[in-house]
Structures are given as C-alpha cells and as structure tokens.
Structure 1
Amino acid sequence: MSVHSRRSVLRGAAATAGALAAGTAATTAAAAATTTGTAIGGPKSHVGPADPRYGFLAGRGYNERFTGSPDHIRLVGSTDDVVRAVNDAVRAGKRVAVRSGGHCFEDFVDNPTVRMVIDMGAMTGVYYDPARRAFAVEAGATLGEAYRRLFLGWGVTLPAGWCPEVGVGGHVAAGGYGPLCRRHGLAVDHLYAVEVVVVDRAGKARSVIATRDATDPHRDLWWAHTGGGGGSFGVVTRYWFRDLPEPPADVLSFTLQWSWEGLHEPVFTRLVHNHGRWFERHGDRYPDLYTEFLLFRRQQGAVMLIGQVSGAGAERVLDEHVAALGAGVGGPTSRTQERQPWLVAALKGSDDTFGWRLKVKSGYLRRPFTDRQIAVAYRHLTTDDPHIVGGAVSLNSYGGRVNAVPPHATATAHRDAILKLFYLSAWAEPADDARHMAWIREFYRDMYADTGGVPVDGGAYIGYPDTDLADPQWNTSSLPWSTLYYGDNAARLHAAKRRWDPRNVFHHALTP
C-alpha cells in the first residue's frame, strides 16, 4: 500500500461504503491587484441558473449532503468586486454567503435560504507586500497554491493544513492547523493583518484592513479572524502573514497499519492507551513528528497511523514512536515510508475527493482517552451493521508550539491539548442518511456520556463544524455550543460580531 494522505484514506473508507450501498506570484500589492482585478468583471461575473457554469459553481461544496440553489453566484476578482456584490445583496434583501475552497462540512454556504454566493475562486494572489512587510495571500487561494508560491518565491511556508485543496479563506479564520504546527504554531500565530468587507448599520459595505498592532482601532476584527471561524463577520479578501518559517528540506512520510484481525478488545485497548500515553509524556519533545491515528471501523480492515517526520533523526524518531505504540501489542502488520522533498509531500493528496455525504464532529484531549471511552470506541467501531463502513475517529497530534501561545492572544482558545479529534461518517446514498447520522451521533454522545454528550473538558474545533452542538437533543450539558468552540473567548467574539456586523448580514447556524 502506498503512503496515504488523510483525504485519500478517507476517500477509501467512503468508497467502500458506497460499494456496499450500491502561476507565478506577483511581487507587489499593486501587481497582484492588477492581476486579480482584471480576471473577472462585468455581466459575466453574475452566474445564474441558465449559465453553463452554474452547476459546477453551485455544486462545488465538499459535502454532498448539501447542494445550494442561489439566485446567482458572483465571481469576484478584487476587493472592489466583493464590495459591489455585498452592496447588491443588501439592497436586494438577499441572504449572502461566501465560498473560498468549498470544504465546509455543514450547510453554511449551501443553505436553501442563501440567495447569493460570493465565490472567491479567482482571488488567488500570493505575494510579498513591502508596505506591510508581510506576505499577502488572497482568500481564494488553496493551501497548495500558497505553499508552492511561498516556497518557490521566498523559501518560506505557512504552517497550515495537510490537504492542499482546502481554501485559505475559511481555513485560516478557523485557526489553521496542520503538520508543521507543532514546530511553528498555528497559521493564525503568524497572522499580521486581514482585509474584510463588512456592512455598517446603515447597510453600506466597505473594506477594512485590521492588524494585530496594539494601537489599531480595528484590532478586534483581526482578532476575530484568528479562530472565530469564517462567514460570520464579513468577507475576507486577503490575509497578511509575518515571520513565516522555512519548511524542512525533506520529510519522511509514512503509513502503518494494524489489521483488525488481531485487534481483539484487550489488544485494541492497549494500542490506544499506548498512543495516548506517548503524547502525554513525550509529545512536546518531538515537534517535528506529525501523526494521525485513524481508528477505522472493523469493516475497513485496519487501523492506520499516517503522518510525516522531518530532521536528521527522522527514522529513529519514527522507530521509537512505533515501538512505543506496539509495546505489549506487537508491531504493525504493514509499514510503508518514503522520504520526499517537503514541497512534494505538501502538494500530495490533491486528488478530488468530492462526491460523498459526510457528517463530522471534533474534540480535543488534554489527557488520553479513559478506559470507558476506549471501550465505547471499540463497541461503535465493531458493530456488525454491514452498511456502516465509512466511519472513524482520528487522533491527530497536537501541542508543541501551539500550546506556547496564551489562550486569549488569539480567538483559538484550545492551547493546552495533546491531541485533536476528528470523528467522521461518510457514505454515498441519500437513502442511507438516517443510518449513518445515527451512528456518528450515538458514537459521539456515548464518548462524552459523562458530560452531557459533548466534550466539555476539551472543547471542539470550529474548522470541523457540527450543528448538533447547538441542538439540545445532542448537547445536554450546561455549556452552550459557543463555549465548546471558543471557551472564554466566546464573549469577546460576540462583541466583535455586534460591532462589525450590526445587521447580521453574515450568519449561519454557528455564528458567534
């Protein structure tokens, strides 16, 4: 088996379920404005249902559970285009939403009440802005585009996500997390400024540039975009980053598998315990090791550890980690690894994984899973229902430099975790919605049965939005969803929302 990216692994799980069911960067701000500002304009930027482009643009959301039907889609190439589009929406009384990469897991864009979608796909500039002494990345760029241009142009990178097709716009606003973050912090830890199109109390749209400078009167708008999530305060058109790190020259990418054939409950329990204890005791000592421990359902055949490690001692670090996981369990049934130039590894996994119906949930761990939680995971991952195949919980390495930043310095409040959790159910047919939604909801509820069915002790990640956290049927704790996502930062985000979007033009089910 070849080395996997996370998305290709998840695609494999979803595919199994389906089978059972059926450019050169500009070097100045002026150059970038010219390039992107002339890319789209005039009546051709208004895409209605009769336009041959409409089907693609309306359906390019990642989660097939949701497909929007807006009156029209506005393709924008500049900040001025965005201002005009927002003004048109407000004057017409149309609910507006914005799409960057299209990877939102809920219906924040593809909601039946959204009548205009602003598509940022043409705003992909990546350049150095000498006036701000910062690297600018437009909101429509994908992570892969940003990685390639920053690295080839200046030898630096943005420490952000592992999936290169994800859009910068929503990813950074949620915090920006990926393989290099344990060494270099989150993407927002490098965010100097953000440009946002907002709407004032009179209903007039305008662009605002907000920086992290202590004297900036707009600083709360910058802060809201350091983990407050996208689509809530306005339309982000570009970000500026300072102090971007150099990536490693190369990385060792790996995939390890433990076959479910040998994972009886005591063995499974020991394996998961070993993993959690290692990160609790040693995680910060190895900031160049990034892993995702994918506990797939038994029907998928195996559980996997995928990831990458860099540095001169990469193989030794991986060997030590694998030995610790296998203590009392035995080594993996298969192991594949490959040393690659960093950019090659960063751009892998860009294959199209759209086309599946999804439900996701999230959490953080400050300490390893308890015995009770591991028993719950084992039970839900080994149920005999043959139709539930594309399900998993992934335990992703966290901490390191991420935890060195105070929780109030950015809107990303979760700065004391050792692992980040990603729960997934994926399937192909609409007729199977109820079965798969019930499976993941019950799995998640049972994992946190001691705290009202939600991760009160660790919190959740707004980049993996889950509207169930706002539903009293599934959140029976005393904490509102906003506290689960934002901790003590929730009140400050509410205040920023009131100031910068007083008419609530930009909203969705999980707006602060």
Structure 2
Amino acid sequence: DQVANVVTEALSAHGKNVKVTSGRHCYEDFVYNDQTHAVIDMSALNQVGFDPDYNSYFVDAGCENWTVYRTMLNAFNKTLPAGSCYSVGAGGHITGGGYGLLSRLHGLTIDHVTAIDIVTWDARSSTAKMRHVSEKSSDAAERDLFWALRGGGGGNFGVIVRYYFADPPTAPDHATVWNLAWDWSDMTNAGFANLLAEYADMVTTMPNTDWSLLCLTHVTNGQLGMTLQIVSPAGTSFTEHRRRAEASVAGAKKRFSAIAPAVRLMKPLGGHPYISAVPKSESAVHLTYLEALQDLNGIGPNQFFKNKSAYMKKAFPTDQVDAIYHWLNVTPAGANLSQALVQVDSYGGEINKRSSTATAVPQRSSIMKLQYQTYWNNDSVPGNRNAAPYLAQAETQLTWLNDLYRAVYAQYGGTPNPANDTTGTVGGCYYNYADSQLGTHAHGDADKALWLYFLDNLRNNPRNLVSVKKHWDPENYFHHAQSIPVK
C-alpha cells in the first residue's frame, strides 16, 4: 500500500515524467535525463526472506545482488542464478532475465520466479493498485502480466515491489576458479581464430556445472584472458568436487595449449565481472561458493563506458573472427582502448531447456552471449563533461566500438539480426544490456532494437509484450527510450 500511495502521488503530480530505479546500473540514460521530473527509488525496499503466507522465499526490488546472495545462502542455504555484479539491483536485473554465473546449471533467474508483487496504474481513475500476479492468478490478464514481467524488462508495466521463489536452487558448497591468459605479442591471426573456435567448442561440450568468460581485450591491454568457474551440485564432497574441477581444468589446459604460450594474468581485463586481481595464478583456486561469488563480483571503478550485445547460436564464422581480430588491433587517434574488449560469456545448458515463449526472453538456443565494451576516463568534472575535448574523446571511443560491431555483423545488416541470418548463427541482443544506438522512440526506430531484444515475443506471438502493455498501461505512463510500445 505504501508503494501504491507513492506511485499515485508521483504520477498525479508529474504525469508521464516519472521513472523508477533500483540499483542504478542501467547502461543508458533511461531514468536520469532531462525529461525526468521525479524518480521512484526502490533501493530502501531491500529485504530478503521467507513468506509463510505464500510458502515462498522473496527478494525485494531494491535488493542488490550481494545482499541477495549472502542472505539466501547464510539464512536458507539457497541461491539464485543471477548476475555477478554485486551492486546491481534486483528490480531491473531480474525482470530483464537475470542471467548469471549459475545460469547454465539452473537457467535464468526468471525461470525460478513464481510470483511478483507489482503496482499498476489506472489512468482513468488516477489510482495505483498493488497486485500479486503469478501463473495461478485467476485473471487471465494478470497471468499475461506475470509472463511479461519475466524478461520484459523494467520501466514498462508498473513498479515491481517483490519477487517470490517457491523453490530456488540450493547453493553449491564448493567452487573452483581458474584463469588463463595469453600475451597479445604471441597471438597471431590464425591463433586468434583457433582460440575462438576452441572456446565455442568448449562451451557447447562442457558440463552445465561449468561457466566460462573469455575476454578478448584490445591489443593495447597487452593480454587476453579467460576465466573458468566450476561448481558442484549441493551435497557433493570436497574430494569429489576437486576431482571434477581439476579434470575440467586439465581438459581446458590441453584444449588451449597449442594456441599460444599461456602466461600469468598481469593486468586487469575489465568487463563484467571485472577481473582485477594481479598477478593471477595459473593454478586452480578451490573456494567455498560464497568466496567464489566474492571473487567474481567486481564491477571495477566508475568511469565512462559504452556496451553492445549479441547472442550466438553457433561458433564464430570466419568473417566475424577476422573482423574482431582486425578491430582489436586498430587504435584510432585520440582513443584509449586499453580497457576495450569483446566479452564472451558461456550460455546454454538449462537456459535452453525452456521454450522461446515460456517467458518474454526468446533466446533459448544460444551457446554464447557477447558484450562489446569500451571504458575510458578523463579529467572532466560534473558540469563540463560536454566540453569539446571530452565530447571528441567520447565520439572516438564510440565510433571505434560501433565500427567494430557493424563489421562483425555486416552480413546481417550491421546487427546480430536473426531475421537476416540464413545460417542460424546469431540470436539478437539482451534487453538488460541496453543500447540506444540500436534504436529509440525519439528517433522513430525503437522497433528495430525491440525486435533484436524480444524477437517474435514483441508482437507476433499470440502472447506478446505489446498486447500486455496495451492492456496494463494504455496511456504509456511507464516509458523510456526503448520501452515496450502500446501499439
């Protein structure tokens, strides 16, 4: 009721210029921009617990990932297959899909959500109402809303207050983390192609208990790197876990040994998670699950950055390999690309056991999820960040990233658009990795972006996001640059 009162007050006073925030990790200015008059900040609603009335565990929308992990593990020996970045807010993260380090083992976080508390807005009566929606809701429209909230993203249908999980995964007892690095000076074009081919093969054949991250950093970083995390199902003894983990590490060492000499990781690789500790040992490190979460939960220092995404359903074709290699070896004048990278996360496993229409996330046949990233710093201060030299630097960084992205996906029209792909290689983009350059409502091309995020779940399937939006928010009070449209 308190949240409903706040929503009523905010929307009555500021109309359609109200935005909602939780962890403040949006990749774009969807919340904080000159059109926003008021912000509903959910971060104070940050409880994790068990609700006997619903016989379910719950996570408030304002919780950060690290709070969720620590509380669920320490109090209930449970966990979620959510993201690695410790300060990301549950409100937006989960509703956008909630991909994380255990997703190959347990699926996306939305696959475990069994009910959601959400405040919706009735523009005709100017009133907000708290609703508890689930697949068991008696109202078909509420069941459709529950479907849309599992993957349809934040800021579209109302204000999410709480997520419920009837039977979240039991937390693993043990985890092993292993890092491998190569010097760029030892990496040839042929070696780079072999690296990408071997990595794609590894992530399609490794057990679901394994998760991996490949950091294809720019040549000015000096090194490329890979992280492998191995967990064991709850109840596995440490002796058995260690045997399994060391077998996985040995297999990976053998697989990559012929590509280039392996070296210690001596520089931060950046990305998400931020691989920062140096030097990293080549030996596998055996940890408790909580220690492994802490080891891989970094986000790095605050700085400027831009991100783009892609899903891959098959290994990298030759034209993509050549484009990535070329642009990772190009340094435009005025650019600082030492923190730029193409990050390749392993995908699949349990994620792909759901149908493309089970939730609003349609990507259920991918093997890898990519992030194209560039980070940079300058000596600007609030108020002068748009001064000429800073804008010039930003344009240089962004132009390089966009040129890389367009080159990689040139045969599909410059984006990983499966509608233009006769080979079944690419699968669109991830809504939680928002990218305004794919299209926005202000530029009249938001549908281009939304198609890449949601494919046929946007409009074409019988149950689709646009129809849910039209029912629950026909006046479009909850909107942003890439929000679900009402028609």
When normalised by structure 1's length, the TM-score is: 0.80
1:85 equivalenced with 2:6 (yes/no) = yes
Structure 2 Cα separation of the partners of residues 475 and 109 of structure 1: 19
Correspondence for 1:500: 472
Structure 2 Cα separation of the partners of residues 113 and 260 of structure 1: 45
1:406 equivalenced with 2:355 (yes/no) = yes
Structure 2 Cα separation of the partners of residues 274 and 500 of structure 1: 47
Alpha-carbon shift at residue 338 of structure 1 (Å): 1.4
1:484 equivalenced with 2:448 (yes/no) = no
The amino acid across from 1:84 in the alignment is N
Structure 2 Cα separation of the partners of residues 97 and 441 of structure 1: 28
Correspondence for 1:250: 174
Alpha-carbon shift at residue 450 of structure 1 (Å): 0.6
Structure 2 Cα separation of the partners of residues 351 and 293 of structure 1: 16
1:135 equivalenced with 2:57 (yes/no) = yes
1:447 equivalenced with 2:408 (yes/no) = yes
What does 1:409-424 correspond to in 2, within 5 Å? 409-424=358-373
Alpha-carbon shift at residue 384 of structure 1 (Å): 3.2
The amino acid across from 2:456 in the alignment is D
Which of these residues, 387, 399, 414, is aligned with residue 438 of structure 1?
Answer: 399
Which of these residues, 376, 393, 408, is aligned with residue 323 of structure 2?
Answer: 376
Which of these residues, 341, 348, 351, is aligned with residue 392 of structure 1?
Answer: 341
The amino acid across from 2:131 in the alignment is V
8 A contact 2:84–2:297 mirrored in 1: no
Structure 2 Cα separation of the partners of residues 268 and 262 of structure 1: 10
8 A contact 1:159–1:180 mirrored in 2: yes
Alpha-carbon shift at residue 506 of structure 1 (Å): 0.9
Q: Percent identity?
A: 32
Q: 1:440 to 1:125 in 2, by over 3 A?
A: same
> For 1:128-154, what per-residue CA distance to the aligned partner results, in whole angstroms no more than 9, with x for missing partners?
111212111100011111111111111
Structure 1 unmatched runs, 5+:
1-79
> For 1:444-463, what per-residue CA distance to the aligned partner results, in whole angstroms no more than 9, with x for missing partners?
11111011111012110001
Correspondence for 1:232: 156
> For 1:341-395, what per-residue CA distance to the aligned partner results, in whole angstroms no more than 9, with x for missing partners?
1012223455573521111011111001111111100111011336232211111
Which of these residues, 166, 170, 181, is aligned with residue 92 of structure 2?
Answer: 170
Q: 1:462 to 1:352 in 2, by over 3 A?
A: closer
Q: 1:353 to 1:381 in 2, by over 3 A?
A: same
Correspondence for 2:74: 152
CA RMSD of aligned residues (A): 2.1
The amino acid across from 1:508 in the alignment is H
Q: 1:402 to 1:349 in 2, by over 3 A?
A: closer
Which of these residues, 292, 299, 306, is aligned with residue 227 of structure 2?
Answer: 306
1:329 equivalenced with 2:278 (yes/no) = no
When normalised by structure 2's length, the TM-score is: 0.84
What does 1:341-380 correspond to in 2, within 5 Å? 341-349=288-296, 353-380=300-327
1:315 equivalenced with 2:315 (yes/no) = no
8 A contact 2:336–2:376 mirrored in 1: no
Correspondence for 2:36: 114
When structure 1 is superposed on structure 2, of 206-215 and 422-431 the one drifting more is 206-215
8 A contact 2:249–2:284 mirrored in 1: no
Q: 1:92 to 1:100 in 2, by over 3 A?
A: same
Structure 2 unmatched runs, 5+:
233-240, 265-281, 379-384, 419-426
Correspondence for 1:222: 146
Structure 1 Cα separation of the partners of residues 250 and 307 of structure 2: 32
Structure 2 Cα separation of the partners of residues 501 and 348 of structure 1: 41
Alpha-carbon shift at residue 336 of structure 1 (Å): 4.4
